[in-house]
Amino acid sequence: MQPLFLNRYAIASSTGIGLEPTVLALGEMRSGLAACAFETVRLDTFVGQIADALLAPVRADLAEFDCRNNRIAQLCMQQDAFDQSVMAAREQYGPSRIGVFVGTSTSGILETELAYRRRDAAGALPADFRYATTHNTYSVAWFVQSYFGLTGPSMAISTACSSSAKAFGNAARMIAAGLCDAAVVGGVDSLCLTTLYGFGSLGLLSPVGCRPFDADRDGISIGEGAGMVLLEKKADGRTADSIALLGVGESSDAYHMSTPHPEGLGARMAMEQALMSAGLRPGDVDYINLHGTGTRSNDATEDKAVCAVFGNDTPCSSTKGWTGHTLGACGAIDAIICALAIERGFMPGSVNTRTLDPALALRYLIDNRSQPPGIVMSNAFGFGGTNCSLLLGRVQA
Amino acid sequence: MKLFVEGIAILAPGLPGWAASRAVLAGEKNYEPAPLAPPVADLLPAVERRRTGSMVKLALAVGHEALTCAGRPVDSVATVFASSGADGDVINEICITLAGSDRQVSPTRFHNSVHNAPSGYWGIATHSHHPSTSLCGFDWSFAIGLLEAAAQLQVDRREVLLVAYDTPYPEPLRSVRRVAEPFGAALMYTRDRTGRTIAELEVTMDAQPREASRMSDAALERLRTGNPCARALPLLAALAGAQPQQVTLERDAGQSLSLSVRTF
């Protein structure tokens, strides 16, 4: 594929609101996870929560979209001049030439969960409950599109935990097909009872902060957050060389709804497809940001899959110990962490991980390494056996 | 953007499959709404079938019919799944559980609650490792799915099966999101004309929004407006041979897509 430039990006997660706080927390090995005190949830687990006080109501003219998920989207768009950059792009290309591609798994379902508690005697939902602009899967893409007044094609991609990695693929296709000149690509997910109690019922929640690839790893920590990228065909010329999306690979496990293929077959295919679409070989990749959720089986199958494609020499790690597993947002959040790694010249380690699982073969980094990666891969896999791998790298503008 | 159609499927009240519905959609026979018999989803192993609800079964049934119509193996194509939401029955059950004192969510119900559940079961049923995406564009989900399929054909140069479906929500969700009747449709698209091509589509994003095409039959028009994915009906009517062969679909942001249809 033709490289597409990440001309501006923004991030908001429990690890940091904005790029600088995120880089700082990564550098200081400071995790955003804490014992769960979300809403009325009584579960023995850690979460990566954005403090409620930081989540201001959405802009007044878009009040109908107000919900936790869209507040997180707005908080992210207000960081690092992301909103100004999109408005400048809107000026340059015209509102109809910018597409919106946002990945989410649960959108604003929290609103519906809370509304069900307020059902009246006849079982009806409260009159102030708005479904379409909060809970509906499309709500967050609709909100982002409305926030910037864009009229290019927009969609919510909802493929569970690969959603916002796959959103880059949708954006790249629409740009290549000439349906838009630039794209706002992102991922947003927020804490809700469905995912907390759902993963709880699967026995997949770690009682402490998640420890990817650790010998004692015991599950995921759910996080919330958003990552947003302004993707364009041309670099904006701020620096001599810029960070670009080089390849996207997508595949299906065709195995099980909530368990990955035991040999990591689908994951392997996604990584190989990404390399093929970028015209790169495994040896060209300097660092891999793993999906690495911290469950026994997910990490073990990803270990096998990555080894099958890259061997066990490529440095890799999961950054879920910092952010938690942000589900539909993790594709975009991890891609931005990868972009920061390239931009600032470091390879993230793995906060919380202490003792590597001797059964796993990958060259897994626990400590941060100050070695600049040129080309990085980011993996995201999800329920339904959906897999997506992205390749990012420095390209001369 | 040009797309070739090799297979078509439809399942909705009074429209039980493409062959049985074609004359109705072409305006040659009267439309007689009758409750839709629950789709069978015989692609799925019995143990998995028991775990799925009506939305997954509907999606799998139309996907299977379109590929059968095209004479293609079920594991041979990439897929785009489009719907305006996840399974309403599952979401309702989970929200009832979470509003109660015992918040034990069933693991099967939880993995069935994801928007991409039909895509996941499609993979299990077909053993297809091809890419599959699951999209949502609220009431414009079909148009968005069609654009994505067109982009995949053009850019990734692969055949694409588009599966679009929405099923009614139970109360109390039904009062805030009314989906009147179940509706599923699937279209098997190819990039080039093949021996099995039955129609050609030219898709254009309109510079100025145009009014969406309607169905001339009042009951079919009610079906069209009563289910987000039934917005596909004017296109299916044109594919059945009805005039005009120019169709406008509303998409997001108050914009529209124009389709020009030529049947062979």
Q: Would you say A230 and A9 are in contact if contact means Cβ atoms under 8 Å apart?
A: yes
| pLDDT score recorded for residue A283 | 98
Mutate to test the interface with B, among A104, A134, A138, A271 (most CBs of B within 10 A): A138
A45–B contact, CB cutoff 8 A: no
| pLDDT score recorded for residue A106 | 98
Minimum-distance CB partner of B95 among A116, A136, A382? A116
CB contact under 8 A, A117 and B128: no
| pLDDT score recorded for residue A241 | 72
Q: Is A291 a catalytic residue?
A: yes
| pLDDT score recorded for residue A350 | 98
Per annotation, catalytic residue among A192, A210, A291, A330: A291
| Gap between the Cα atoms of A202 and A263, Å rounded | 21
Confidence of residue B41 (pLDDT cuts 50, 70, 90): confident
CB contact under 8 A, B85 and A253: no
Question: Residue A194: its chain B contacts at CB < 8 A?
Answer: 94-95, 98, 105, 110, 113
pLDDT higher than threshold 90 for residue B222: yes
Per annotation, catalytic residue among A67, A192, A316, A325: A325
Q: Please enumerate in sequence order all residues whose Cβ is within 8 A of that of A88, keeping only pairs 6 or more positions apart, or say none.
A: none
For every residue of chain A, which 3-state class applies, written as one string? Answer: CCCEEEEEEEEEECCEECHHHHHHHHHCCCCCCEECCCCCCCCCCEEECCCHHHCCCCCHHHHHHCCHHHHHHHHHHCCCCHHHHHHHHHHHHCHHHEEEEEECCCCCHHHHHHHHHCCCCCCCCCCCCCHHHHHCCCHHHHHHHHHHCCCCCEEEECCHHHHHHHHHHHHHHHHHCCCCCEEEEEEEECCCHHHHHHHHHCCCECCCCCCCCECCCCCECEECEEEEEEEECCCCCCCCEEEEEEEEEEEECCCCCCCCCCCCHHHHHHHHHHHHHHCCCHHHCCEEECCCCCCHHHHHHHHHHHHHHHCCCCCEECCHHHHCECHHHHHHHHHHHHHHHHHHCCECCCCCCCCECCCCCCCECCCCECCCCCEEEEEEEECCCEEEEEEEEEEEC
| Gap between the Cα atoms of A198 and A217, Å rounded | 19
Query: Which chain B residue is nearest to residue A114, measuring alpha carbons?
Result: B99
* Domain housing A226: 4-396
- Reported as a single tens digit per residue, the pLDDT across A110-163 is 999 999 999 999 999 999 999 999 999 999 999 999 999 999 999 999 999 999
Question: Residue A132: its chain B contacts at CB < 8 A?
Answer: 138, 176-177
Q: Residue A145: phi, psi to the nearest 5?
A: -60, -45
| Gap between the Cα atoms of A253 and A238, Å rounded | 40
A253–B contact, CB cutoff 8 A: yes
Q: Domain B2-197 is classified in which CATH homologous superfamily? A: Thiolase/Chalcone synthase (3.40.47.10)
Mean pLDDT of all residues belonging to chain B: 96
pLDDT higher than threshold 70 for residue A240: no
What tokens were used for B127?
């053993």
| pLDDT score recorded for residue A397 | 66
pLDDT higher than threshold 90 for residue B242: no
CB contact under 8 A, A254 and B251: no
| Gap between the Cα atoms of A319 and B191, Å rounded | 40
CB contact under 8 A, A198 and B105: yes
The overall pTM is greater than 0.80? yes
Question: Residue B123: its chain A contacts at CB < 8 A?
Answer: 252-255, 384-385
| Gap between the Cα atoms of B160 and B153, Å rounded | 7
CB contact under 8 A, B155 and A257: no
CB contact under 8 A, B175 and A177: no
Minimum-distance CB partner of A173 among B124, B155, B177? B155
CATH of residue A106's domain is: 3.40.47.10
pLDDT higher than threshold 90 for residue A239: no
CB contact under 8 A, A158 and B124: no
CB contact under 8 A, B98 and A199: no
What tokens were used for A258?
């909530």
Q: Is A135 a catalytic residue?
A: no
Q: Determine the average pLDDT of the residues in A294-310.
A: 97
Residues 166-185 of A with CB under 8 A from B: 166, 169-170, 172-174, 176-177, 179
B248–A contact, CB cutoff 8 A: no
B94–A contact, CB cutoff 8 A: yes
% chain B with pLDDT above 70 = 100
| pLDDT score recorded for residue A236 | 84
Confidence of residue A229 (pLDDT cuts 50, 70, 90): very high
Mean pLDDT of all residues belonging to chain A: 97
Q: Determine the average pLDDT of the residues in A179-199.
A: 98
DSSP 8-state secondary structure symbol assigned to residue B26: T
Residues 171-190 of B with CB under 8 A from A: 171-173, 175-177
* Structural domains of chain A, count: 1
B149–A contact, CB cutoff 8 A: no
| pLDDT score recorded for residue B243 | 86
pLDDT higher than threshold 80 for residue A237: no
| pLDDT score recorded for residue A299 | 98
Sign (positive/negative) of CA torsion A232, A233, A235, A241? Answer: positive
B45–A contact, CB cutoff 8 A: no
Residues 88-147 of A with CB under 8 A from B: 96, 105, 109, 112-113, 116-117, 119, 123-125, 129-132, 136-138, 141-142, 145
- Number of A:B CB contacts under 8 A? 214
B222–A contact, CB cutoff 8 A: no
